[in-house]
Structure 1
Amino acid sequence: MEPIKIGILNLMQNKLETMYNFQRALKLDSVELIFYYSATRYVDRTLSPEITDNMRPLDLDEIKNLDGFIISGSPVEKLDFPQVSYFDEINDLIDQLNHINMPQLYVCWGAMAALNRIYDIQKKLLPHKVFGIFQNQILKDSKYLDNISDNFPAPHARYAEMDHEEIQNNPHLTIKAISENGLLTLVESVDRNQTFVFSHLEYQKDSLDNEYRRELASPKVKQPFPALNYYSPLDRKPTFAWKQTQLNFYHNWLQSVSEYKLTTC
């Protein structure tokens, strides 16, 4: 069988690190990853060859040739959706993916944007950034959580949350897992190939530390704090408590993409 082709729209500022994260999380011989960046966001900006050599501007005409698609997070949770410069482009992509109904995985802000666009779920700012490794409770069975134990560890890093009541009242959506502090971890569509994950399970061991150091160096972030439950109490170095969870979750998602491809060939 030919490799399954997964498109990934990379909206993060640290594009090369994000590309590496997804490559590690989705590392299987039977998977081909095609990375895209926003065409509208960079229409008048020059990207480094490191990016243009590894990623393409988003082309909606190519989407139908893929087997699955991922929209990454983006550090724009504090903005209202219409304030995001490339939001029309994202909406066009989400509309097309929803129309095709190919397997879709939306991550963090990508999940927020898709829930808003498809189901009109509203976003709310949190009192402060949620940043660290938290235990996550499984509320309902999910094929994407097979071989993952209850209260599994996962990294969260965001400033916003979607309205739980609106999700619970929507018959097309179900909350599968929440974090120990009551925030969304995994939401799924009941009748579409749509998965919304709010944990950055694609993060590698040093990702949270790198994010903290970027915030320390940024004049836009006031009093950043290090990730909770992340650094070893012995040597203060990053730990990778979610590694097995990452491998199992992405293996399960890729398996579902492969099974869906077989039914549509």
Structure 2
Amino acid sequence: MEHIKIGILNLMQNKLETMANFKIALGDEVELKFYYSATRYVDRNLDEHITENMQPLDLNEIKDLDGFIITGSPVEKLDFPQVSYFDEINELLDLLDQINIPQLYVCWGAMAALNRLYNIDKKILPHKAFGIFQNQILKNSLLLENISDNFPAPHARYAEMNHEQIINNPELKVEAISENGLLTLIESNKKNQTFIFSHLEYQKDGLDKEYHRELNSPKIKHPLPALNYYSSLDHKPMFSWRQTQRNFYQNWLQTVSSHKLTTC
């Protein structure tokens, strides 16, 4: 594979774990550059392990990258303008849309991008979608090569985007949905933009850690454990999406490599 350099804006609360997740999911053959929000942490101190491995977002560096990922963020319940780094995200989205390098938007990152770039509305779900769900492939995609229909993938979110608006937008195509009717994968028909609502980057214990963070949070009442995740034999997490993770991220990296070759 062509040497490629991927930028990742890490908006997750557990930044070091998220960084490790993407390093595993994307493999050792690519160069990764991790960023955190520059505006979110103007007056706040970050763990030195974060500042040693990540840097504040610098839009001037984006043009030197071959692809870009915006992660999820635990802010789905907020209206977009209520998010403290809302303006910074929009500037980044506008720039990525303009230069059109391959973009991968994950969970809340996908929500923010669909809203900004395609005016798709967000809605809060009646309850959190949390667990391992089967996902139906609706349309063929290079990103889903070597991935079987009804593939398992972790979902963990409190919000969803407006399905009708997406279906009626000729620039977007829904390629996979979960067994409970939630969005899994969307691509743009014209741009190098992918929107994934599953946390395929999570490693085996990711949902378990998220559940225990919520158990210890005074802001979340009565959190429930992830569905279809714990073994009925020993009640430990099962890594049923491991191969799907590997294939999906390798497929996406191949699109980045192919795009680089066509633009050199």
Aligned to 2:245: 246
The structure 1 segments of at least 4 consecutive aligned residues displaced by more than 4 Å after TM superposition are none
In the alignment, structure 1 residue 106 sits paired with structure 2 residue 109: no
Deviation at 1:48, TM superposition (A): 1.1
Q: Deviations over 1:10-54 (max 9, x none)?
A: 00000000000000000132x000000000000000111100000
Instruction: Report the 3-state secondary structure (helix = DSSP H, G, I; strand = E; otherwise coil) of the residue aligned with 1:78.
Output: coil
1:91 corresponds to which letter in structure 2? Answer: N
State the Cα deviation string for residues 49-101 of structure 1 (Å, max 9, x = none).
10000001000000000000000000000000000000100000000000000
Counterpart CA distance in 2 for 1:2 and 1:50 is: 30
Partner in structure 2 of residue 137 of structure 1: 136
Q: Which residue pairs with 1:7 in the alignment?
A: 7
SS at match of 2:31: strand
1:23 aligns with 2:23: yes
Structure 1 residues 77-96: aligned runs within 5 Å: 77-96=76-95
Letter in 1 for 2:202: Y
Equivalent residue number for residue 217 of structure 1 = 216
* Residue equivalent to 1:261: 260
Identity of aligned residues (%): 77
3-state SS of the aligned residue for 1:121? coil
User: What is the rounded CA distance, in whole Å, between the counterparts of 2:149 and 2:2 in structure 1?
Assistant: 34
Gaps of 5+ in 1: none
In the comparison of the two structures, how many residue pairs are matched?
264
Q: Tell me if structure 1 keeps the 8 A contact 2:2–2:257.
A: no
Residues 223 and 153 of structure 1: CA distance in aligned 2, closer, same or farther (over 3 Å) = same
Unmatched segments (≥5 aa) in structure 2: none
CA distance in 2, matches of 1:104, 1:79: 24
RMSD between superposed Cα atoms in Å: 0.7
Q: 2:55 matched to which residue of 1?
A: 56
Distance 1:109 1:2 in 2: 30
Aligned to 2:69: 70
Return the alpha-carbon distance in structure 2 between the equivalents of residues 263 and 28 of structure 1. Answer: 23
Measured after TM superposition, the shift of residue 3 of structure 1 is 2.1
- Report the secondary structure of 1:174's partner residue: strand
1:36 is matched with which residue? Answer: 35
Aligned partner of 1:255: which letter?
Q
Provide the rounded CA distance (Å) in 1 between the counterparts of 2:79 and 2:179: 27
What amino acid is aligned across from residue 21 of structure 1 in structure 2?
Answer: N
Structure 2: distance between partners of 1:32 and 1:258: 12
**What SS is found at the alignment partner of 2:237?**
coil
Report SS of the residue matched to 1:23: helix
2-structure distance, mates of 1:250, 1:2: 15
Alignment of 1:109-128 (within 5 A): 109-128=108-127
Superimposed CA distance per residue, residues 118-165 of structure 1 (whole angstroms, 9 cap, x where no aligned partner): 000000000000000000000000110000000000000000000000
1:99-248 to structure 2, matched below 5 A, reads 99-248=98-247
For 1:96, the aligned partner's letter is: L
Paired amino acid for 2:94: D
